[in-house]
Structure formats: C-alpha cells, structure tokens
Structure 1
Amino acid sequence: MYYTYMLRCADDSIYTGITTDLERRMDEHFTQGEKCAKYTKRHKAKKLEAAWSSEDRKLASKLEYYIKHLPKSEKEDIIKHNKNITVLSEKLDITSYKRIRLKR
C-alpha cells in the first residue's frame, strides 16, 4: 500500500509527497528528522491536510505529480471542501485512490 499526502507548512504552503508508512513519514516531517524532505526542513510542516491510499508506487507517484502541478487554489479546494481528486479525473483514473479520513 502506498499513500499520497498533502501537508500544510508554517508559511501556508502545501507540500505533497508519497510514502509506504504514513505515520512514520509524518513523524519524520514534523520532527524534522534526518529523513525529512528538504522542503519541509525549510518550510516547517504544520498539519497533515489530506491523504489517499493506492495499490502501488506508480499510482501514488502519478497522483503526487498531478497534485503538485495544480494551482494552489485547487489544492485548497481539495483540502477545505473535502473534495476528492475529481479535478484530476480527466488526467487519471481516480477510482484507483481512496481518500483517508483524518482525525481533526
């Protein structure tokens, strides 16, 4: 299982990444550990905003790529309005992804 996720950073930017272990990866981002992404070392991670599961790395990477290329306003729509990734339905098969409910 792979996960694609969106993090809110302290400067209000949004970081998107993939992982096989969401809990471990969040710990790395939030503690700014050795394996923390360069981006979240410079822009401190504040909150996990959204996450999706998929069956393999190729699917997770595809979703990550398309989310990273969305304008910030569309990323915010996905987060704030709890919209799924329907904005990407023309570019990929969104039935391959399941949004994970996050504890708020």
Structure 2
Amino acid sequence: MTSWYVYLLKTASNTLYTGITTDPKRRMRQHSGAIKGGAKALRGKTPLSFYCIFEVSDKSQALRLEAWIKQRNRQAKEALARAESELPVPATRLTNEAIRQMNSAHC
C-alpha cells in the first residue's frame, strides 16, 4: 500500500501552501520548477521549503486532511506544525529533522 502525504510549503513571501502527494521530494521539485507539473499558484514564489508534512494511510484520508487544513487560518496551521492541534484523520507528523533533510535535498 502506498503512503500519502499532506504537506504545507512556505514560500519566499512567507505564504503557506497545502497539497497532497505520494512523493514529497518529487512534488517539491515540480513546485520549484526543476521538473514539469508544479502548481500554478507557486510559480515565481521560490524558494520554497517544507513547513510541515503528515503521512496518512490512503488518498481518501489525504484529501480529507488537505481540505480540513485549507479551511484553517494561519495561526491554526502554525499550531499544526508545532503538533499543538488534533487532526480529523489518523496521521503521523514527520519529524523536524526529516523535514530539514527533505528541504536540504532539493536546494
């Protein structure tokens, strides 16, 4: 079974962007323009960095969590990143070290 990830990216202008993927490293390369397929909303907003990443069991859970996060305000999203908030689906938050490694891998 493939794991799905819900991620929050921080843009150069300090905006948060939320998305889902099965491969966060590939998705970051797409969003950064290294390969085709990035979101139009992120064009010209590099550099990008992962702010928070959650691993969930399937696409359905990922879509539910993504929609739930997108309804939250910035303060609530920042609380999620600090693991100070309950999630509506079972999810595992990646460690800060894992996120740091992913961020340094795409630079």
TM-score range, shorter chain: 0.7 to 0.9
Task: Write out aligned runs for 1:20-35 (5 A).
Answer: 20-31=22-33, 33-35=35-37
Where structure 1 has 5 or more consecutive residues not aligned to the other structure, the ranges are none
Task: Name the structure 1 match of 2:104.
Answer: none
Task: Name the structure 2 match of 1:97.
Answer: 91
What secondary structure, in the 3-state scheme, does the structure 2 residue paired with 1:43 have? coil
Task: Name the structure 2 match of 1:83.
Answer: 83
Counting matched residue pairs gives 96
Where structure 2 has 5 or more consecutive residues not aligned to the other structure, the ranges are 101-107
Maintained 8 Å contact 1:67/1:75: yes
Query: Which of residues 64, 67, 70 is equivalent to 1:65?
Result: 67
Task: Name the structure 2 match of 1:39.
Answer: 41
Residues in 1 aligned to 2:93 and 2:51: alpha-carbon distance in whole angstroms:
11
List 4+ stretches of structure 1 deviating above 6 A. none
Residues in 2 aligned to 1:22 and 1:74: alpha-carbon distance in whole angstroms:
22
Maintained 8 Å contact 2:4/2:58: yes
What secondary structure, in the 3-state scheme, does the structure 1 residue paired with 2:32 have? helix
Provide TM-score, normalisation by structure 2: 0.79
Provide TM-score, normalisation by structure 1: 0.81
Residues in 1 aligned to 2:94 and 2:43: alpha-carbon distance in whole angstroms:
25
Could you say what the CA RMSD is over the residues aligned between the two structures, in angstroms?
A: 1.7
